């Protein structure tokens, strides 16, 4: 199965975690509106709310790759309340995409 995922920060092209997307298909860039980007020091985070937008890259990934991204982002599907980030589905110009909030 394939999934669309929107990435920002260290997963974008040219950044140190981009290798986790090796073999995936780059679909394009987009802006997610009504999100705010935060600098948490070692890594960024986005949160719904505000009037800003966040520039993201959209990739088509396999289920295996999505699980690797979940691990990187500290997302636990079985216990999301214990997760560092939540994986949420939002609308983009390319349709529904997963993004880590």
Nearest 5°: the CA angle 68, 44, 25 is: 45
Structure tokens at 68: 């690797």
Select which of 29, 34, 52, 73 is catalytic.
73
Residue 75's nearest CA partner among 1, 2, 26, 5 is: 5
Told to judge if 73 belongs to the known catalytic residues of this protein, a careful annotator would answer yes
Catalytic residues: 73
């Amino acid at each position: 199965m394939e999934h669309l995922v929107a990435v920002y920060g260290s997963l974008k092209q040219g950044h140190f975690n981009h290798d986790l997307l090796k073999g995936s298909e780059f679909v394009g860039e987009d802006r997610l509106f009504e999100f705010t980007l935060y600098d948490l020091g070692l890594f960024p985070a986005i949160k719904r709310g505000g009037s800003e937008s966040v520039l993201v890259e959209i990739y088509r990934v396999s289920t295996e790759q999505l699980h690797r991204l979940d691990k990187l982002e500290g997302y636990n599907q079985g216990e999301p309340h214990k997760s560092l980030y939540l994986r949420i589905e939002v609308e983009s110009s390319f349709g529904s995409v997963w993004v880590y909030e």
